[in-house]
Structure 1
Amino acid sequence: MIEAELKARVHAPDAVMRALDNRAAARVEVYQDTYYDDPAGGLEKRDQELRVRTVNGADGRRTVLTFKDAAVDRASGSKPEHETRVEDPQAVHALLRGLGYVPVIAFEKQCRNYDFEAHGRQMLATLVRVPEIDGTFLEVETIVDEVDLAAALDAIRGVLAEIGIDSEEDLTRDTYTSAVRARRSP
Protein backbone atom coordinates (compact mmCIF):
# COMPACT_ATOMS: atom_id res chain seq x y z
CA MET A 1 0.00 0.00 0.00
CA ILE A 2 1.06 3.57 -0.62
CA GLU A 3 0.95 6.43 1.82
CA ALA A 4 -0.44 9.22 -0.37
CA GLU A 5 0.72 12.32 1.47
CA LEU A 6 1.19 16.03 1.05
CA LYS A 7 3.08 18.19 3.53
CA ALA A 8 2.69 21.94 3.83
CA ARG A 9 4.26 24.74 5.78
CA VAL A 10 1.61 26.31 8.02
CA HIS A 11 1.64 30.09 8.29
CA ALA A 12 -1.42 30.33 10.58
CA PRO A 13 -1.16 27.33 12.93
CA ASP A 14 -3.96 28.43 15.27
CA ALA A 15 -6.44 28.86 12.39
CA VAL A 16 -5.50 25.47 10.90
CA MET A 17 -5.78 23.83 14.32
CA ARG A 18 -9.27 25.30 14.82
CA ALA A 19 -10.34 24.05 11.38
CA LEU A 20 -9.06 20.56 12.19
CA ASP A 21 -10.63 20.65 15.68
CA ASN A 22 -13.97 21.23 13.91
CA ARG A 23 -13.44 18.02 11.91
CA ALA A 24 -12.29 15.59 14.59
CA ALA A 25 -10.97 15.20 18.11
CA ALA A 26 -7.23 15.77 18.37
CA ARG A 27 -4.84 13.10 19.59
CA VAL A 28 -1.77 14.84 21.03
CA GLU A 29 1.34 12.66 20.80
CA VAL A 30 5.10 12.99 20.94
CA TYR A 31 7.10 10.83 18.53
CA GLN A 32 10.66 9.71 19.25
CA ASP A 33 12.02 8.75 15.83
CA THR A 34 15.26 6.91 15.13
CA TYR A 35 16.24 6.43 11.48
CA TYR A 36 18.61 3.66 10.43
CA ASP A 37 20.74 3.08 7.34
CA ASP A 38 23.62 0.89 6.34
CA PRO A 39 27.08 2.38 6.93
CA ALA A 40 27.36 3.38 3.24
CA GLY A 41 24.02 5.22 3.26
CA GLY A 42 22.46 2.77 0.81
CA LEU A 43 18.87 3.26 1.97
CA GLU A 44 19.08 7.03 1.61
CA LYS A 45 20.69 6.67 -1.83
CA ARG A 46 17.71 4.50 -2.89
CA ASP A 47 15.21 6.99 -1.35
CA GLN A 48 14.20 4.40 1.28
CA GLU A 49 13.66 4.85 5.01
CA LEU A 50 13.93 2.51 7.97
CA ARG A 51 12.56 3.96 11.19
CA VAL A 52 11.76 2.96 14.76
CA ARG A 53 9.13 5.31 16.23
CA THR A 54 8.01 5.38 19.84
CA VAL A 55 4.75 7.27 20.30
CA ASN A 56 3.87 8.74 23.70
CA GLY A 57 0.33 9.97 24.19
CA ALA A 58 -2.71 9.94 26.44
CA ASP A 59 -3.37 6.31 25.46
CA GLY A 60 0.09 5.24 26.63
CA ARG A 61 3.19 4.28 24.72
CA ARG A 62 3.55 2.24 21.55
CA THR A 63 6.43 1.56 19.17
CA VAL A 64 6.31 0.83 15.44
CA LEU A 65 8.91 -0.30 12.93
CA THR A 66 8.46 1.30 9.52
CA PHE A 67 10.04 0.72 6.11
CA LYS A 68 9.28 3.22 3.35
CA ASP A 69 10.29 2.30 -0.18
CA ALA A 70 11.30 4.81 -2.86
CA ALA A 71 8.77 7.48 -3.84
CA VAL A 72 6.32 6.46 -6.56
CA ASP A 73 5.28 10.07 -7.15
CA ARG A 74 8.09 12.62 -7.30
CA ALA A 75 5.86 15.68 -6.94
CA SER A 76 4.35 14.58 -3.62
CA GLY A 77 6.99 12.15 -2.38
CA SER A 78 4.31 9.52 -1.71
CA LYS A 79 5.88 6.17 -0.88
CA PRO A 80 4.91 2.54 -0.34
CA GLU A 81 4.93 2.02 3.41
CA HIS A 82 5.12 -1.10 5.55
CA GLU A 83 4.65 -0.74 9.29
CA THR A 84 4.23 -3.08 12.22
CA ARG A 85 3.81 -2.65 15.92
CA VAL A 86 6.79 -3.62 18.08
CA GLU A 87 6.42 -5.17 21.53
CA ASP A 88 10.07 -4.77 22.58
CA PRO A 89 11.68 -1.60 21.15
CA GLN A 90 15.12 -2.33 22.64
CA ALA A 91 15.14 -5.74 20.94
CA VAL A 92 14.27 -4.13 17.58
CA HIS A 93 17.05 -1.55 17.95
CA ALA A 94 19.48 -4.40 18.78
CA LEU A 95 18.17 -6.48 15.87
CA LEU A 96 18.70 -3.64 13.39
CA ARG A 97 22.22 -2.99 14.68
CA GLY A 98 22.91 -6.74 14.53
CA LEU A 99 21.87 -6.74 10.87
CA GLY A 100 24.45 -4.03 10.18
CA TYR A 101 22.23 -0.96 10.25
CA VAL A 102 23.35 2.08 12.19
CA PRO A 103 21.26 4.87 13.69
CA VAL A 104 21.85 7.92 11.49
CA ILE A 105 19.56 10.44 13.16
CA ALA A 106 17.08 10.61 16.03
CA PHE A 107 14.76 13.45 16.94
CA GLU A 108 11.41 14.37 18.46
CA LYS A 109 8.20 15.37 16.68
CA GLN A 110 5.37 17.02 18.60
CA CYS A 111 2.17 16.00 16.84
CA ARG A 112 -1.52 16.78 16.96
CA ASN A 113 -3.26 14.01 14.98
CA TYR A 114 -6.76 14.06 13.50
CA ASP A 115 -8.49 11.02 11.99
CA PHE A 116 -11.53 11.80 9.82
CA GLU A 117 -13.29 10.95 6.60
CA ALA A 118 -13.22 13.39 3.67
CA HIS A 119 -13.87 13.03 -0.03
CA GLY A 120 -14.88 9.42 0.59
CA ARG A 121 -11.52 8.50 2.17
CA GLN A 122 -10.11 7.92 5.63
CA MET A 123 -7.62 10.71 6.25
CA LEU A 124 -5.01 11.44 8.86
CA ALA A 125 -4.00 15.07 9.31
CA THR A 126 -1.06 15.83 11.58
CA LEU A 127 0.08 19.24 12.75
CA VAL A 128 3.81 18.86 13.41
CA ARG A 129 6.41 20.81 15.32
CA VAL A 130 9.98 19.60 15.50
CA PRO A 131 11.66 21.53 18.34
CA GLU A 132 14.97 21.71 16.48
CA ILE A 133 13.57 23.39 13.36
CA ASP A 134 11.51 26.50 12.76
CA GLY A 135 7.89 26.39 11.78
CA THR A 136 4.77 24.28 11.94
CA PHE A 137 3.91 21.74 9.28
CA LEU A 138 0.77 19.90 8.29
CA GLU A 139 0.84 16.40 6.84
CA VAL A 140 -2.35 15.00 5.32
CA GLU A 141 -2.32 11.37 4.22
CA THR A 142 -4.45 8.44 3.20
CA ILE A 143 -3.50 4.86 2.34
CA VAL A 144 -4.20 3.76 -1.25
CA ASP A 145 -3.00 1.43 -3.95
CA GLU A 146 -0.88 2.86 -6.76
CA VAL A 147 -3.70 3.08 -9.33
CA ASP A 148 -5.66 5.35 -6.97
CA LEU A 149 -2.75 7.65 -6.09
CA ALA A 150 -3.63 10.62 -8.32
CA ALA A 151 -7.25 10.71 -7.11
CA ALA A 152 -6.10 10.40 -3.49
CA LEU A 153 -3.69 13.32 -3.88
CA ASP A 154 -6.50 15.40 -5.38
CA ALA A 155 -8.66 14.56 -2.35
CA ILE A 156 -5.82 15.59 -0.03
CA ARG A 157 -5.47 18.89 -1.90
CA GLY A 158 -9.20 19.38 -1.34
CA VAL A 159 -8.80 18.86 2.41
CA LEU A 160 -5.86 21.28 2.51
CA ALA A 161 -7.92 23.94 0.72
CA GLU A 162 -10.87 23.40 3.05
CA ILE A 163 -8.72 24.10 6.11
CA GLY A 164 -7.03 27.17 4.64
CA ILE A 165 -3.93 25.86 2.86
CA ASP A 166 -4.73 26.48 -0.77
CA SER A 167 -1.41 27.57 -2.24
CA GLU A 168 0.80 25.03 -3.99
CA GLU A 169 3.71 27.23 -2.82
CA ASP A 170 3.03 26.11 0.76
CA LEU A 171 3.61 22.45 -0.16
CA THR A 172 7.06 21.08 0.60
CA ARG A 173 9.00 17.88 -0.02
CA ASP A 174 11.65 18.90 2.53
CA THR A 175 12.18 16.16 5.08
CA TYR A 176 12.46 16.57 8.83
CA THR A 177 15.60 14.43 8.78
CA SER A 178 17.34 16.81 6.36
CA ALA A 179 16.22 19.89 8.30
CA VAL A 180 17.38 18.46 11.63
CA ARG A 181 20.71 17.38 10.09
CA ALA A 182 21.24 20.88 8.68
CA ARG A 183 20.40 22.46 12.04
CA ARG A 184 22.86 20.20 13.87
CA SER A 185 25.74 20.68 11.47
CA PRO A 186 28.35 23.20 12.60
Structure 2
Amino acid sequence: MGIEIEKKYRLTREEAVALERELERSGARFIGEEFEENTIYAGGALDPQRQVLRVRRTASGTTLAYKERALTNGAIKHQREEETRIESDEAIAAILCALGFHPALVYEKKRRKWRFAEAEVVIDELPFGIYAEIEGDAEGIDRIERELGLESAEIEHDTYPQLAARHGVKRDNSIEARFVNQSKSN
Protein backbone atom coordinates (compact mmCIF):
# COMPACT_ATOMS: atom_id res chain seq x y z
CA MET A 1 0.00 0.00 0.00
CA GLY A 2 1.35 3.41 -0.96
CA ILE A 3 0.77 6.59 1.05
CA GLU A 4 0.82 9.86 -0.87
CA ILE A 5 1.70 12.97 1.16
CA GLU A 6 1.21 16.30 -0.58
CA LYS A 7 0.33 19.96 -0.21
CA LYS A 8 -1.55 21.86 -2.91
CA TYR A 9 -1.59 25.58 -3.71
CA ARG A 10 -3.88 27.67 -5.91
CA LEU A 11 -1.76 30.00 -8.07
CA THR A 12 -2.28 32.99 -10.30
CA ARG A 13 -0.56 32.85 -13.70
CA GLU A 14 2.06 35.30 -12.35
CA GLU A 15 2.71 33.10 -9.30
CA ALA A 16 3.11 30.04 -11.56
CA VAL A 17 5.67 31.87 -13.73
CA ALA A 18 7.54 33.01 -10.60
CA LEU A 19 7.53 29.45 -9.22
CA GLU A 20 8.97 28.08 -12.48
CA ARG A 21 11.73 30.70 -12.34
CA GLU A 22 12.47 29.79 -8.72
CA LEU A 23 12.60 26.07 -9.58
CA GLU A 24 15.10 26.82 -12.38
CA ARG A 25 17.16 29.10 -10.13
CA SER A 26 17.26 26.53 -7.33
CA GLY A 27 18.58 23.77 -9.59
CA ALA A 28 15.43 21.63 -9.62
CA ARG A 29 15.51 18.99 -12.37
CA PHE A 30 12.74 19.40 -14.93
CA ILE A 31 11.22 15.97 -15.57
CA GLY A 32 8.75 16.86 -18.30
CA GLU A 33 5.22 17.82 -19.15
CA GLU A 34 2.18 15.81 -20.06
CA PHE A 35 -1.47 16.22 -20.99
CA GLU A 36 -3.90 14.04 -19.00
CA GLU A 37 -7.52 13.02 -19.37
CA ASN A 38 -8.83 11.77 -16.02
CA THR A 39 -12.10 9.84 -15.69
CA ILE A 40 -13.51 9.40 -12.20
CA TYR A 41 -15.86 6.47 -11.69
CA ALA A 42 -18.71 6.39 -9.18
CA GLY A 43 -20.83 3.57 -7.83
CA GLY A 44 -20.22 0.40 -5.89
CA ALA A 45 -19.15 0.91 -2.28
CA LEU A 46 -17.11 4.06 -2.97
CA ASP A 47 -17.54 6.94 -0.52
CA PRO A 48 -17.30 9.94 -2.89
CA GLN A 49 -16.15 12.19 -0.03
CA ARG A 50 -13.02 10.08 0.66
CA GLN A 51 -12.48 7.53 -2.14
CA VAL A 52 -11.68 7.89 -5.82
CA LEU A 53 -11.45 5.34 -8.62
CA ARG A 54 -9.65 7.03 -11.53
CA VAL A 55 -8.60 6.09 -15.05
CA ARG A 56 -5.87 8.42 -16.37
CA ARG A 57 -4.96 8.56 -20.06
CA THR A 58 -1.72 10.20 -21.24
CA ALA A 59 0.48 9.90 -24.30
CA SER A 60 2.63 7.42 -22.35
CA GLY A 61 -0.24 5.11 -21.36
CA THR A 62 -3.28 4.51 -19.17
CA THR A 63 -3.38 3.88 -15.43
CA LEU A 64 -6.06 2.84 -12.97
CA ALA A 65 -5.77 4.32 -9.47
CA TYR A 66 -7.65 3.92 -6.21
CA LYS A 67 -7.20 6.75 -3.70
CA GLU A 68 -8.54 6.98 -0.17
CA ARG A 69 -7.97 10.21 1.71
CA ALA A 70 -7.26 10.12 5.43
CA LEU A 71 -9.43 12.50 7.42
CA THR A 72 -7.30 15.49 8.44
CA ASN A 73 -7.77 19.20 8.98
CA GLY A 74 -4.20 20.16 8.07
CA ALA A 75 -2.92 21.58 4.80
CA ILE A 76 -0.71 18.54 4.16
CA LYS A 77 -2.88 15.69 2.91
CA HIS A 78 -2.23 11.98 3.43
CA GLN A 79 -3.96 9.41 1.28
CA ARG A 80 -3.67 5.77 0.37
CA GLU A 81 -2.87 5.38 -3.31
CA GLU A 82 -2.78 2.17 -5.35
CA GLU A 83 -2.03 2.52 -9.06
CA THR A 84 -1.40 0.15 -11.95
CA ARG A 85 -0.83 0.45 -15.69
CA ILE A 86 -3.67 -0.66 -17.97
CA GLU A 87 -3.18 -2.28 -21.34
CA SER A 88 -6.59 -1.49 -22.84
CA ASP A 89 -8.74 1.61 -22.22
CA GLU A 90 -11.79 -0.15 -23.61
CA ALA A 91 -11.31 -3.28 -21.49
CA ILE A 92 -10.89 -1.40 -18.21
CA ALA A 93 -14.00 0.72 -18.97
CA ALA A 94 -16.01 -2.45 -19.70
CA ILE A 95 -14.73 -4.19 -16.54
CA LEU A 96 -15.53 -1.20 -14.32
CA CYS A 97 -19.03 -0.87 -15.82
CA ALA A 98 -19.64 -4.63 -15.38
CA LEU A 99 -18.72 -4.21 -11.69
CA GLY A 100 -21.32 -1.46 -11.26
CA PHE A 101 -19.13 1.64 -11.67
CA HIS A 102 -19.93 4.39 -14.15
CA PRO A 103 -18.01 7.44 -15.45
CA ALA A 104 -19.16 10.37 -13.31
CA LEU A 105 -16.55 13.04 -13.95
CA VAL A 106 -13.94 13.83 -16.61
CA TYR A 107 -11.29 16.50 -16.24
CA GLU A 108 -8.26 17.43 -18.28
CA LYS A 109 -4.93 18.60 -16.92
CA LYS A 110 -1.64 19.91 -18.29
CA ARG A 111 1.16 18.96 -15.85
CA ARG A 112 4.77 20.19 -15.64
CA LYS A 113 6.94 18.20 -13.21
CA TRP A 114 10.25 18.81 -11.40
CA ARG A 115 12.39 16.89 -8.94
CA PHE A 116 13.53 19.15 -6.10
CA ALA A 117 15.60 17.69 -3.27
CA GLU A 118 13.65 14.67 -1.99
CA ALA A 119 10.28 15.83 -3.36
CA GLU A 120 8.33 16.17 -6.57
CA VAL A 121 6.98 19.62 -7.45
CA VAL A 122 4.32 20.01 -10.14
CA ILE A 123 2.49 22.88 -11.73
CA ASP A 124 -0.91 21.80 -13.01
CA GLU A 125 -3.10 23.80 -15.34
CA LEU A 126 -6.74 22.75 -15.41
CA PRO A 127 -9.62 24.42 -17.28
CA PHE A 128 -10.61 26.18 -14.05
CA GLY A 129 -7.25 27.22 -12.60
CA ILE A 130 -3.53 26.76 -11.99
CA TYR A 131 -2.22 24.76 -9.02
CA ALA A 132 1.10 23.61 -7.61
CA GLU A 133 1.71 20.52 -5.53
CA ILE A 134 4.66 19.42 -3.46
CA GLU A 135 4.76 15.67 -2.83
CA GLY A 136 7.19 14.17 -0.33
CA ASP A 137 7.39 13.72 3.42
CA ALA A 138 5.69 16.33 5.66
CA GLU A 139 8.95 17.84 6.96
CA GLY A 140 10.41 18.08 3.46
CA ILE A 141 7.22 19.69 2.12
CA ASP A 142 7.41 22.47 4.72
CA ARG A 143 11.11 23.11 3.99
CA ILE A 144 10.63 23.13 0.21
CA GLU A 145 7.63 25.42 0.55
CA ARG A 146 9.89 27.97 2.28
CA GLU A 147 12.75 27.49 -0.20
CA LEU A 148 10.44 28.07 -3.17
CA GLY A 149 8.67 31.05 -1.59
CA LEU A 150 5.24 29.40 -1.41
CA GLU A 151 4.49 30.25 2.26
CA SER A 152 2.08 33.01 1.25
CA ALA A 153 0.44 31.09 -1.62
CA GLU A 154 -3.23 30.18 -1.19
CA ILE A 155 -3.61 26.60 0.10
CA GLU A 156 -6.10 24.45 -1.84
CA HIS A 157 -7.76 21.80 0.33
CA ASP A 158 -10.07 20.31 -2.32
CA THR A 159 -9.05 17.50 -4.66
CA TYR A 160 -9.05 17.95 -8.44
CA PRO A 161 -12.20 15.79 -8.73
CA GLN A 162 -13.97 18.02 -6.17
CA LEU A 163 -12.87 21.16 -8.03
CA ALA A 164 -13.83 19.70 -11.42
CA ALA A 165 -17.27 18.75 -10.09
CA ARG A 166 -17.76 22.33 -8.91
CA HIS A 167 -16.46 24.04 -12.08
CA GLY A 168 -17.29 21.49 -14.78
CA VAL A 169 -20.21 21.29 -17.20
CA LYS A 170 -22.97 18.67 -16.90
CA ARG A 171 -23.05 16.39 -19.98
CA ASP A 172 -25.52 13.51 -19.99
CA ASN A 173 -24.80 11.52 -16.81
CA SER A 174 -21.40 13.02 -16.00
CA ILE A 175 -19.60 16.31 -15.42
CA GLU A 176 -16.75 17.42 -17.70
CA ALA A 177 -14.01 20.01 -17.19
CA ARG A 178 -12.19 20.21 -20.52
CA PHE A 179 -9.97 22.79 -22.18
CA VAL A 180 -11.61 24.67 -25.03
CA ASN A 181 -10.40 23.36 -28.42
CA GLN A 182 -8.34 20.58 -26.77
CA SER A 183 -8.34 17.42 -28.85
CA LYS A 184 -9.25 14.22 -26.99
CA SER A 185 -6.47 12.40 -28.82
CA ASN A 186 -3.67 14.35 -27.05
Range into which the TM-score falls when normalised by the shorter chain? 0.7 to 0.9
Instruction: Report whether the alignment pairs 1:184 with 2:168.
Output: yes
* Closer/same/farther in 2, CA of residues 115 and 33 from structure 1, 3 Å limit: same
Distance 1:14 1:155 in 2: 23
Query: What per-residue deviation string (whole Å, max 9, x for no partner) do you get for residues 101-140 of structure 1?
Result: 0111011001101134x2xx3x211101102x1x311011
Distance 2:160 2:89 in 1: 22
Q: Give me the identity figure in percent.
A: 29
- Give the structure 1 partner of residue 109 of structure 2: 109
The equivalent position to 2:55 in structure 1, one of 29, 52, 55, is: 52
Q: How does 1:32-43 map to 2 (within 5 A)?
A: 32-38=37-43, 42-43=46-47
Distance 1:158 1:165 in 2: 10
Runs of 4+ displaced beyond 6 Å: none
Aligned 8 A contact 1:73 1:79 in 2: no
Aligned 8 A contact 2:53 2:65 in 1: yes
Please report how far the alpha carbon of residue 17 of structure 1 lies from its aligned counterpart in structure 2 after TM superposition. Answer: 0.9
- Give the structure 2 partner of residue 81 of structure 1: 81
- Give the structure 2 partner of residue 63 of structure 1: 62
Q: Structure 1 unaligned segments of length 5 or more: list them.
A: 143-151
**Equivalent residue letter for 2:67:** K
The equivalent position to 2:145 in structure 1, one of 140, 160, 170, is: 160
Distance 1:18 1:128 in 2: 15
SS at match of 1:166: coil
Task: Write 1 or 2 for the structure with the bigger share of strand.
Answer: 2
SS at match of 2:158: coil
**Number of equivalent positions:** 164
- Give the structure 2 partner of residue 145 of structure 1: none
Distance 1:154 1:73 in 2: 16
Aligned 8 A contact 1:6 1:140 in 2: yes
Aligned 8 A contact 2:46 2:52 in 1: no
- Give the structure 2 partner of residue 95 of structure 1: 95
- Give the structure 2 partner of residue 2 of structure 1: 3
- Give the structure 2 partner of residue 31 of structure 1: 36
Q: CA RMSD in A?
A: 2.0
- Give the structure 1 partner of residue 124 of structure 2: 128
TM-score using structure 2 length? 0.80
